[in-house]
Amino acid sequence: MTSFLTHRARVHDARLPIYRRHSALRTCLTRFAPYGLRATYHHLTLSARIPRRLEDDPAALVRAVEELHEARELWRTRADEFEARRRAQKWAGRRAVPEPRPWWLRGWVREDGPPRAWYDDPNRHPSLRLPDYVRRRNALLDGAELPGCPACGDEGPPELQSTGHGRVELCGRCGWAPSPCPCEREHRLVPVAPRGWSEIWRRTHLGDDGPPTGRPGPGAES
């Protein structure tokens, strides 16, 4: 299996057709995507200003993969430290993962995923640049007392969102919710602006000139 760094190099390779460089970016996202693959890609289309016509600004793909790479390096440093401690703990007979669990091992959908909201509604994710999101979550893991939503820092009131089992409170800005839900059931959230992966991949949320169309998505100010 080729590595993240191999595909990052392909994104940079101007000799390759633009569609292959774009596909390489997607493969990088399968290796590391703090908001989940769809939501992270949606974020990068806005933060890196990836146009609907890729040939109009090939450098946007480089901006996107470099933001992703910077965040991944911050995560790798902490993940490597955690793995080293876990190996030592296991050798000492301590098999259970100590609390608090690292943020990258928590999620509504699976142990290594982000909150459920970012899977069901990829438009709802933090507007933070990915490295800033990783720094924020690392600081919280270290015991820092940061105001607002753990994911994005928003200090506004939560909003109620419909689910298959009723309504649940979410961050009004990024859709973050407690994990797991206090009722201990997995909720599938109802997207505010439904959009399938194929539409996100084709960047239909962007106008022909680049800016988002319709409801502004998180990260539009980046």
Report the alpha-carbon distance of residue 63 to residue 49 in Å, rounded. 9
Report the alpha-carbon distance of residue 148 to residue 153 in Å, rounded. 4
Residue 70: the pLDDT is 97
Residue 19: the pLDDT is 96
Residue 181: the pLDDT is 58
- pTM attached to this predicted model: 0.81
Average pLDDT for runs of 10 along the chain of length 222: 88 97 96 92 96 95 98 90 77 71 59 64 90 93 89 87 69 75 60 75 76 40 32
Q: Is residue 100 reached through a cis peptide bond, with omega within 30 degrees of 0 on the bond before it?
A: yes
Q: Could you tell me the residue ranges of all domains in the chain? A: 4-201
Report the alpha-carbon distance of residue 37 to residue 29 in Å, rounded. 6
Residue 220: the pLDDT is 35
Rounded to the nearest 10 degrees, what angle do helices 59-91 and 37-47 cross at?
140
- Residue pair 115/122 in contact by the 8 Å Cβ criterion: no
- 149 to 78, 120, 191: CA distances (angstroms): 21, 19, 20
Residue 29: the pLDDT is 94
Nearest partner of 176 among 124, 103, 130, judged by Cα: 124
Report the alpha-carbon distance of residue 82 to residue 185 in Å, rounded. 29
Handedness of CA 115, 133, 40, 16 (dihedral sign): negative
